[in-house]
């Protein structure tokens, strides 16, 4: 899968920008604050129909009424024209000029795997950050998971509203609470099974990907930490009624799950440097790309923002070698390319960003 051509209109600091991207590695070069990250964010928004960090209104260029992202996506020789329009009254998503109203039907037209500034919180950040990261990935390749997750969130909201009403009442009939809890338990079991399967799939490849990138003989794996480990989820939730009634909220379930990054048998959040964390997340990206390719028979587009920071020259070039090995379209932002070997620059495309405008330039190495 590749983005053949993309046009931004009134998106962030871009007034009107059209780019024809290469099928290999695309280097987006420029000083900080010029719009490199905004360009990657536009592709993310086109793929996911939402930003990873701000509300929709913040994506619209100052003093404009709408933002629009259009792209030609080529997947196994089939071309799809994607359009996403963001305005004060909402969003419109179109595929080949036909409006797509359900999120679950839209996501999957453009597969992406991303390394963005916020992803550096993945290892040491909150469980919410990690759940969001893996849920976004699973949602791209499994529409049923996306629907199950939406159903789960709806049930949690209903259950929390009921718990608050019951905590204020003198006599509590638990009949309705039992019904919602049993429905919730079924969703928890489905979500937990899918999350666990993903981590097992990742762990079959992550060690080798990390070694190829770093040349270090370290043991690297991920662990899935569900908040409920008992076999009978419904029974466990019912045994916690008193706690839930006191707090007026559902204290256990998929919204309390977590993931742990383990390096040499220790939680990586406790003893790894920024550079090590960066390498771990990049290795994870490569594995996720492999999983998409295996599941959907299509390589996702890599979006890598400031990925070379804190990687020495050898690791930078090993990363580029790994990316070339995937045959995936890659879009990398960086402030310069002085440490990048000439062969990667010659075989890729170079774009320069200045004040919200991107222009292709030739390599004169």
Residue identified by tokens 């608050």 is 164
Going by pLDDT thresholds of 50, 70 and 90, the confidence category of residue 171 is: low
Q: How far is CA 202 from the centre of its chain?
A: 15
Taking the chain, what is the end-to-end CA distance rounded to the nearest angstrom? 29
To 10 degrees, the CA torsion angle through 251, 257, 261, 267?
30
Distance between CA 12 and CA 68 in Å, rounded? 10
Residues of the chain with CATH 3.40.50.300: 1-111+298-365
Structure-token pair, residue 31: 């000083």
Q: Which of 19, 22, 12 is nearest to 327 (CA)?
A: 22
- Can you tell me the mean pLDDT for 330-335? 96
- pLDDT of residue 172 exceeding 90: no
Judged by average pLDDT, the poorest of 69-78, 171-180, 214-223, 263-272 is: 171-180
**Order of strands, sheet of 90-95, starting from the edge strand that comes earlier in the sequence:** 14-20, 2-11, 66-75, 78-87, 90-95, 98-99
Q: Which of 273, 260, 266, 305 is nearest to 125 (CA)?
A: 260
| pLDDT at 365 (0 to 100) | 57
Whether the Cβ atoms of residue 307 and residue 340 lie closer than 8 Å to each other: no
| pLDDT at 315 (0 to 100) | 86
- Between residues 12 and 118, the one the model is more confident about: 12
Q: Which of 132, 94, 112, 104 is nearest to 41 (CA)?
A: 112
Q: What is the DSSP letter of 60?
A: B
Structure-token pair, residue 6: 């993309």
Going by pLDDT thresholds of 50, 70 and 90, the confidence category of residue 310 is: confident
| pLDDT at 68 (0 to 100) | 98
Whether the Cβ atoms of residue 82 and residue 46 lie closer than 8 Å to each other: yes
Residues of the chain with CATH 1.20.1050.90: 122-295
- Between residues 309 and 189, the one the model is more confident about: 189
Q: How far is CA 124 from the centre of its chain?
A: 17
- Between residues 168 and 199, the one the model is more confident about: 199
| pLDDT at 53 (0 to 100) | 86
- CATH topology for 1-111+298-365 is Rossmann fold (3.40.50)
pLDDT above 90 covers a percentage of the chain that reads: 87
- Write the CA distances from 71 to 57, 92, 108, 330, 333, integer angstroms: 21, 14, 14, 16, 19
- Can you tell me the mean pLDDT for 20-26? 96
- Can you tell me the mean pLDDT for 12-22? 96
- Can you tell me the mean pLDDT for 119-125? 93
Distance between CA 289 and CA 47 in Å, rounded? 15
Structure-token pair, residue 221: 């794996």
What helix, strand, coil percent values describe the chain, rounded to 5?
Answer: 45, 25, 30
Going by pLDDT thresholds of 50, 70 and 90, the confidence category of residue 192 is: very high
Indicate the average pLDDT of the chain.
94
- pLDDT of residue 364 exceeding 60: yes
Which of 196-213 are b and which e, b meaning 16 or more Cβ less than 10 Å from the residue's Cβ? Answer: eebbebbbebbbebbeeb
| pLDDT at 118 (0 to 100) | 86
Architecture of domain 122-295: Up-down Bundle (1.20)
- Can you tell me the mean pLDDT for 199-226? 96
């Amino acid at each position: 899968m590749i983005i053949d051509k993309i046009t931004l209109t009134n998106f962030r600091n871009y007034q009107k920008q059209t780019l024809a991207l290469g099928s290999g590695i695309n280097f987006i070069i420029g000083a900080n604050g010029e719009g490199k990250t905004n360009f990657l964010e536009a592709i993310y928004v086109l793929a996911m129909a939402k930003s990873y960090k701000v509300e929709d209104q913040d994506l619209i260029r100052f003093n404009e009424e709408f933002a629009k992202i259009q792209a030609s996506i080529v997947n196994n020789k089939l071309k799809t024209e994607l359009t996403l329009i963001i305005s004060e009254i909402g969003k419109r998503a179109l595929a080949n000029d036909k409006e797509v109203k359900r999120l679950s039907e839209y996501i999957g037209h453009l597969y992406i795997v991303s390394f963005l500034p916020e992803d550096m919180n993945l290892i040491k950040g909150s469980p919410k950050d990690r759940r969001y990261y893996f849920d976004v990935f699973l949602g791209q390749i499994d529409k049923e998971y996306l629907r199950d997750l939406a159903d789960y969130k709806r049930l949690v909201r209903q259950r929390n509203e009921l718990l608050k009403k019951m905590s204020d009442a003198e006599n509590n009939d638990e009949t309705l609470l039992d019904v919602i809890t049993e429905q919730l338990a079924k969703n928890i079991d489905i979500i937990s099974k899918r999350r666990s399967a993903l981590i097992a799939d990742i762990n079959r490849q992550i060690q080798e990907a990390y070694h190829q990138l770093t040349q270090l003989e370290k043991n690297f794996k991920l662990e899935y930490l569900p908040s409920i480990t008992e076999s009978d989820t419904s029974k466990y939730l019912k045994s916690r009624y008193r706690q839930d009634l006191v707090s007026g909220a559902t204290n256990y379930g998929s919204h309390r799950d977590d993931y742990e990054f383990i390096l040499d048998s220790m939680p990586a959040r406790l003893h790894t440097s920024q550079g090590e964390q960066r390498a771990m997340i990049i290795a994870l990206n490569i594995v996720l790309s492999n999983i998409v390719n295996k599941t959907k028979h299509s390589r996702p587009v890599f979006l890598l923002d400031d990925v070379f920071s804190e990687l020495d020259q050898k690791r930078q070039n090993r990363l580029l070698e790994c990316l070339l090995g995937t045959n995936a379209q890659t879009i990398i932002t960086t402030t310069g390319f002085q440490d990048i070997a000439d062969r990667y620059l010659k075989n890729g495309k170079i774009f320069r960003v200045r004040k919200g405008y991107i222009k292709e330039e030739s390599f004169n190495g």
